[in-house]
Structure 1
Amino acid sequence: MTDAISSPHGSAPSASLSPRLRGMPEGLGRWLAIATGSDTVDLALGTPEFPTAPRSAVHAASHAMRQGHNQYDVPAGNSRLRASVACRLRGRPDPDTEMTVTVGATEALSATLLALLDQGDEVVLTEPYYPNFLSALALAGGRPRFVPLSPPDWAFDLERFLDAIGPRTRLVLLNSPHNPTGRLLSPEAVRAVGMRCARNGVWLVCDEVYAAYAYDGRAHVSVCDQGGLEDIAVSIGSFSKSHALSGWRLGYVRATPRTTRAVRLVHEALTGGAPSPLQRGLTAVLDEAVRTPREAMQRRRDEAVAMFTDARLVCTNPEGGCYFTAEQRDGSADGDQLAQRLLTRAGVAVLPGSLFTTADDPRMRRFVRVAFNRSRSTLAAARTGLSGFAAALPDMAAPPDMVASPAAGAEAE
């Protein structure tokens, strides 16, 4: 991507693209095109079919547009929206000095990293990872140091992660509930990582986009709610999945006043602020205190895991979020091959594990990510497609290292 642009005049010097692009992952575009095909059951994209967008939010946004609220709002975000979001968060952050409304969680993360990192700074994060993390790090100049989760159940090795936080580490980037594995960090793990960061003077940033979805009696724990971490902790949130408003691009950053001032400087330079009428629409639905359908999402998780297990794939049982991983029992296919087989034989689109890792270890690459935030009709169509998939697979039991434990915790302490 960084090759020189060809000049229309042979003798003229060529203009080169930014070296930052080398750190930005490619390859997702092909799968996005496949997932949106008319004959494909899409379990690949994170775009929610369930829950559905609240009608009250749509009506309020439309009303705001008709009433003339179509110009800039305060760059930090509509004051009522910031107050509404703050009221929903444990610890009740100050909406004026500790909350910033952003253009989705993607911009929230980029603005945060640009505010906190310098070129070459080391950032510790887990692998597999959400691909946009690498793009945001590349733009901010961060150098990733990966700590692999342990396949196939993706256990979080706390001691290994703590050991990775060294003298060169500038920032730790967590993601809980985790995309793509669905693992949820325990309160003990969050606190242990946070205290290590605090002792070392390291920033602690956590992508908490899927915080609304924690299952089987578990609870999400925010890094910003841990005592003693206030000066280093930053939480990234979004309404794309919890309220099915991914196209509205509304997210937020929660941090201390000092950090918030820095993030807002970058945020304003990048965007000038999030869309004004959409902020008003979201405020309306938050003021109604709409209950997130966690139990209904858990039932969809159970249904999706069961249908892929019936198709003789080894699946993780996610503790949170909207995704789980699946892989072939005999290990004969990597994630790209399995994704292609599911597409051609079952008509079901998923994402291959190669999009979420740079590791050479084949165990890190033989999974596919399955999204289950889908309508009943989509899940039924997927079950129909998968019903004949198992018959085409060899009759082999899973080797011992591939038997994922549905009850396994997120940590191996």
Structure 2
Amino acid sequence: MTATLFNIKDKKMISLSKKSSVFEDSVIRRMTRICNEYGALNLSQGFPDFDPPHELLAKLEETAFKGPHQYAITWGADNFRKALSKKVEHFSGLSYDPQSEITVTCGSTEAMLASVLATLNDGDKVAIFSPFYENYGADAILCGATPIYIPLHEPSFNFNDEELEQAFKDGAKALILCNPSNPCGKVFTKEELLRISTIVKKYDAFVITDEVYEHIVYAPYEHCYLASLPGMRERTVICNSLSKTYSITGWRLGYVLAPAEVADRVRKVHDFLTVGAAAPLQEAAVTALNFGDEYYAALQKHYTAMRDRFLNGLSDAGLKFFTPQGTYFVMVDISEFGYESDYDFCIDLAQKVKLGAVPGSSFFKDGCSRYIRFHFAKKDDVLKEACEKLKQIKILKK
């Protein structure tokens, strides 16, 4: 049914946007509000509870007094883009011109939406691996595109080449690829990415990647940049952010890397979406972009310790889960609890066990209700408390 509102002037009903009626609000963010309502420990919305690096905070304090405090260039401050270009090339081997191929956005959320709006037309089809981060489906709908979901098969969340190719046979113009993948924690191997690139090139398509967890990968897995593979730089639009790497999710600093022609379109969309990202935060964040390799090694060590501690807690609680290869998320199988609705399970979990999680159905095209997603980017004492709460989870069994 078309949404309407009452027009007092002529006493008629005015039709509202059909697109905005097709999807719900973010289930992830909703679960944070539910955690707040019940006083539950929030392991649902994925943000760290520890401070950013000291050097970054010191630079932020300095910038608060010195500025800049007015608009930066719409597509990003010059020094930020130059530092970002240098950092990207160091880790990926890819050279992006800061003047024509880098766009700074308000988080990776805007980076993805701007990229989708800049590249897809009404009526286009876009392939998306399932499970998927919930924004992708909404982004496709907002730009008038139709998503085609390709399953990632358990327990390793691998894809089937024939199913992927069928999406392109059915008319997909592009693929949205999250690597490392939220919510399942899969890290796509170089061999898998080569198979994807072969199919993409065969159908003269392109890929929009979401690589925000590029530095949160667990040994022996390694992050491979799809754009670095033969013939893929010109077919890849990279969306990323500083949020997860530097524990600054609230700063909302994202970016898009793309060939100049595509970047020009992204910049036009970005300009009218948000005008630009916060100038003082860009100035401060240059400090983080210049960190040496030791920072990223320490980051991986820190996240590995958090992952191992939380997975041990899941094991001690007798729960079934998929060991993440990357990201700070873990999917847990709740089939044994007898709930028809994973959303109802998460409500009871927050209310009775005082622990927050995201219902897995928000990540699957078929509304799969077998899983919930936790995140473990937490301080040691918080993870200890979470593991103690997990010991009570069996009280939810039907």
Which residue, out of 269, 275, 281, partners 2:272?
269
Q: Secondary structure at the match of 1:6?
A: strand
Instruction: Find out whether 1:146 has 2:153 as its counterpart.
Output: no
Q: CA RMSD in A?
A: 2.0
Q: How does 1:62-141 map to 2 (within 5 A)?
A: 62-89=61-88, 90=92, 91-141=94-144
CA, structure 1 residues 54+365, in 2 after alignment: closer, same or farther (shift >3 Å)? Answer: same
4+ residue segments displaced more than 4 Å: 391-394
2: CA distance, partners of 1:125 / 1:254:
20
Match of 1:336 in 2: 343
Matched-pair contact (CA < 8 Å) for 2:335–2:370: no
Instruction: Find out whether 1:250 has 2:249 as its counterpart.
Output: no
Q: Which amino acid aligns with 1:370?
A: F
Match of 2:389 in 1: 385
Q: Which amino acid aligns with 1:371?
A: H
Q: Which amino acid aligns with 2:277?
A: A
Q: Secondary structure at the match of 1:231?
A: helix
2: CA distance, partners of 1:255 / 1:263:
9
Instruction: Find out whether 1:307 has 2:313 as its counterpart.
Output: yes
Cα deviation, residue 115, structure 1: 0.6
Cα deviation, residue 301, structure 1: 1.1
Cα deviation, residue 309, structure 1: 2.3
Matched-pair contact (CA < 8 Å) for 1:325–1:368: yes
Q: Deviations over 1:23-64 (max 9, x none)?
A: 3333625412122347311111111124x2123223323322
2: CA distance, partners of 1:392 / 1:274:
44
TM-score (norm 1): 0.88
Q: Which amino acid aligns with 2:12?
A: P
2: CA distance, partners of 1:45 / 1:376:
18
Instruction: Find out whether 1:219 has 2:222 as its counterpart.
Output: yes
2: CA distance, partners of 1:264 / 1:30:
31
My pick for the range that moved more, 367-376 or 263-272, is: 263-272
My pick for the range that moved more, 290-299 or 232-241, is: 290-299
Q: Which amino acid aligns with 1:63?
A: E
My pick for the range that moved more, 332-341 or 205-214, is: 332-341
Q: Which amino acid aligns with 1:209?
A: V
Q: Which amino acid aligns with 2:359?
A: P
1: CA distance, partners of 2:113 / 2:365:
21
Cα deviation, residue 19, structure 1: 1.2
Match of 1:47 in 2: 47
Cα deviation, residue 223, structure 1: 1.8
Which residue, out of 344, 358, 362, partners 2:365?
358
2: CA distance, partners of 1:377 / 1:214:
23
Q: Deviations over 1:320-369 (max 9, x none)?
A: 01101001353623422432343234211101112212305xxx321000
Q: Secondary structure at the match of 2:15?
A: coil
2: CA distance, partners of 1:38 / 1:53:
28
Matched-pair contact (CA < 8 Å) for 2:106–2:253: yes
2: CA distance, partners of 1:295 / 1:271:
36
1: CA distance, partners of 2:370 / 2:170:
34
Which residue, out of 279, 282, 289, partners 1:279?
282
Q: Which amino acid aligns with 1:145?
A: I
Match of 1:32 in 2: 32
1: CA distance, partners of 2:69 / 2:311:
44
Which residue, out of 353, 373, 379, partners 1:346?
353
Q: Secondary structure at the match of 2:81?
A: helix
2: CA distance, partners of 1:96 / 1:71:
20
Q: Deviations over 1:361-399 (max 9, x none)?
A: xxx3210001011111111111111123236648xxxxx
- Richer in helix (by share): 2
Q: Which amino acid aligns with 2:328?
A: C
Matched-pair contact (CA < 8 Å) for 2:40–2:351: no
Q: Deviations over 1:110-152 (max 9, x none)?
A: 1111110100110001112111112211221111011122245
Q: Secondary structure at the match of 1:5?
A: strand
CA, structure 1 residues 2+308, in 2 after alignment: closer, same or farther (shift >3 Å)? Answer: farther
Q: Which amino acid aligns with 2:326?
A: G
TM-score (norm 2): 0.92
- The runs of 5 or more residues in structure 1 that have no matched partner are 395-413
Matched-pair contact (CA < 8 Å) for 1:123–1:172: yes
Q: Which amino acid aligns with 1:365?
A: S
CA, structure 1 residues 170+37, in 2 after alignment: closer, same or farther (shift >3 Å)? Answer: same
2: CA distance, partners of 1:134 / 1:193:
20
Instruction: Find out whether 1:294 has 2:300 as its counterpart.
Output: yes
Matched-pair contact (CA < 8 Å) for 1:312–1:328: no
Matched-pair contact (CA < 8 Å) for 1:23–1:134: no
2: CA distance, partners of 1:272 / 1:344:
41
Cα deviation, residue 195, structure 1: 2.4
Match of 1:372 in 2: 376
CA, structure 1 residues 213+158, in 2 after alignment: closer, same or farther (shift >3 Å)? Answer: farther
Q: Which amino acid aligns with 1:18?
A: S
2: CA distance, partners of 1:271 / 1:326:
37
Q: Secondary structure at the match of 2:5?
A: coil
Aligned identity (percent) is: 26
Count of aligned residue pairs for this structure pair: 389
Match of 1:318 in 2: 324
Q: Secondary structure at the match of 1:194?
A: helix
1: CA distance, partners of 2:77 / 2:69:
13
Q: Deviations over 1:244-276 (max 9, x none)?
A: 111110011111111111111111121111111
2: CA distance, partners of 1:328 / 1:6:
44
